[in-house]
Chains A and B, each alone.
Chain A
Amino acid sequence: MSFKLVLKFKGTVISEFELDQEETTIGRKAETSIHIDNLAVSSLHARILKIGKKVILEDMGSTNGTMVNNQNVTKHILKHGDVITVGKHTLSFVEVADAKSPVVEAEPESDMDKTMIISSAAREELMTSPAKDNQDSAGSNMALGFIQYLSGPLMGKSVELKASLTSIGKGDNCKIKIKGMLVGKQAAVITRRPSGYHISYLEGMSKVKVNGETLTSAPKTLEDSDIIELSDVKMQFFIKK
């Protein structure tokens, strides 16, 4: 199975591109693999990644956006027949079953249901290179987070979130201490996990808000620069880069 894109402008075929690389870039810059010289196209507009048998289209933060079948997308798994719109140009995605690599029959279901281990080498190959800078997230080097007080007597001060658990509340054992009649002794907890930082509300009349939204019983993943509020104290969460 191979893949190609057919570039068209106002319905006229301009050229065809084989997707034979792991990464195919689309943009106005001459260095891009699919170079479209039109002002409606950003210098690096989008890219296409081949991962195993999947082909994924990703908008690279273009000014005018990328559409697939007239829907705006940021990421999209391409299917045969999809039409990508970039500015005024379209790219049709075509799957070609060629003679050299005959279409492999899908493996029997029972085989794929079996859990298999994949070696680290094979895994690196399959994961290709889309996010080298992100590889830490799979490893032990968990990013370090901070809480900075944006109001109250400690305004400007930061607390390092090094521990696996950081409690917020008015109790003596809380690292982030917040006073107030309605604040719970252990009002909330921030947990540090391999998947990132999470915050959970635990107790007290005063609820915790993240970016203005009151937390429910479900833990919430904290993103860089999220605003956390409890009682009259406002804090911001940071990830150390």
Chain B
Amino acid sequence: MSAIEMVAVTDVGIKRDHNEDCVNIDIGNGIAVLADGMGGHNAGEVASSMAVEFIMRLLKEGLKKFPQGKLDEDTGFSREAILARDSVVTVNNVIIETAQARPECSGMGTTVVVAVFYGNRIAVAHVGDSRMYLLRDDYLSHVTEDHSLIQEQVRRGLLTAEDARNSAIKNLVTRALGVEQDVEADVVEDIAVVGDIYMMCSDGLTDVVPDEAIRLTMLEHRNNLDLCAKTLINLANDAGGPDNISVILIRVKQPFSRKKGFFSRLFGG
């Protein structure tokens, strides 16, 4: 039995004629990557698939080079988290170079969210407004914070979360791959608890489906990730499906390697 269970689904939506989102998972290495491309003609697809493919490859190769869960003393982050961040930065340069070399790709860009699971931990790196959520018990929380104009205004206290959802400028991304040379990826590390369900998604879901609807759907279908992902995508399509929709769901199944305390064994906690 694998320690984690993963499902990835992407859908073109209702209003678009092609899918610029890209997803990929590697259960054996505990990696999941999701990207939402943008740019004229087919350039958005090029950018997002490049991001996913290259990050996947960089992570697979990089993860072999060090033991699991080793801490980098200088930064206080794990080697896995640093690798995830560096892969994102490397791919940014690759996308910029490609855009310069191929005129039809000029101006392409992509968001990306990357997750690496190791031991009882998770490292997440992201750029843009593709998100990761966590469902723990009955609670849904945001693991990532969007790099969007609206989110910056919320952070500065100028707008409430409610205003943000109704805003006309919610799709203005302030950071993306392929735009500027020195892109900065946000990195989050956390303890993954057995039973946690992580959800990565593109803004095609979150722009039209409120968090509470996501939470209730995940609660209802928490035992069937396949059905859960499809239901989430159906919700976005029922709401008009204005954009491409991608969802990756990850369930943490394996217990912590460390031994449980007397009381938690006694009470099954």
Interface residues in chain A, defined as those with a beta carbon under 8 Å from any beta carbon in chain B: 49, 51-52, 54, 56, 58, 75, 77, 106-107, 109-110, 112-120, 123, 126-127, 130-131, 134, 137-140, 162-165, 167, 170-171, 181-182, 184-186, 189, 191-195, 200, 202-205, 216-219
Contact = CB atoms under 8 A, between A and B. Distances in A.
Interface size on B, as a range, is 35 or more
A188 to B, nearest CB: 9
A164 B187 contact: yes
Contact of B172 (A77, A118, A134): A118
B168 A130 contact: no
A115 B149 contact: no
Interface of B: 15, 36, 38, 71, 75-78, 81, 109, 111, 121, 129, 134, 136-141, 145, 149, 152-153, 155-160, 163, 168-169, 171-174, 176, 179-180, 184, 186-191, 193, 203, 207, 242-243, 256, 258-264, 267, 269
Contacts of B172: 116-118, 123
B69 to A, nearest CB: 10
Nearest to B167: A54
Contacts of A192: 76
Nearest to B175: A117
Contacts of A140: 184
Given A139-B184, A202-B193, A185 B158 contact: no
A191 B264 contact: no
Contacts of B258: 171, 185-186
A74 to B, nearest CB: 9
A87 to B, nearest CB: 24
Contacts of B256: 186
B173 A163 contact: no
Q: Which has the most chain A C-beta neighbours within 10 Å: B129, B169, B180, B242?
A: B169
B136 A117 contact: no
A178 to B, nearest CB: 13
B137 A126 contact: no
A205 B111 contact: no
A221 to B, nearest CB: 10
Contacts of A107: 168
Contacts of A131: 156-157
B149 A123 contact: yes
A204 B191 CA distance: 15
B145 A114 contact: no
Given A106-B168, A117-B172, A189-B191, 8 more contacts: A112-B169, A117-B38, A117-B109, A123-B174, A137-B155, A164-B76, A170-B261, A189-B190
B191 A130 contact: no
A112 B176 CA distance: 17
A76 to B, nearest CB: 10
A165 B145 contact: no
A42 to B, nearest CB: 19
A126 B172 CA distance: 11
Contacts of A203: 260-261, 264, 269
A185 B191 contact: no
Contacts of B156: 127, 130-131, 134
A216 B141 CA distance: 12
Nearest to A140: B184
B190 A194 contact: no
A184 B261 contact: yes
B38 A219 contact: no
Contacts of A138: 152, 155, 174
**8 A-B pairs closest in CB distance:** A163-B76, A218-B139, A217-B137, A164-B189, A113-B242, A217-B136, A195-B145, A194-B186
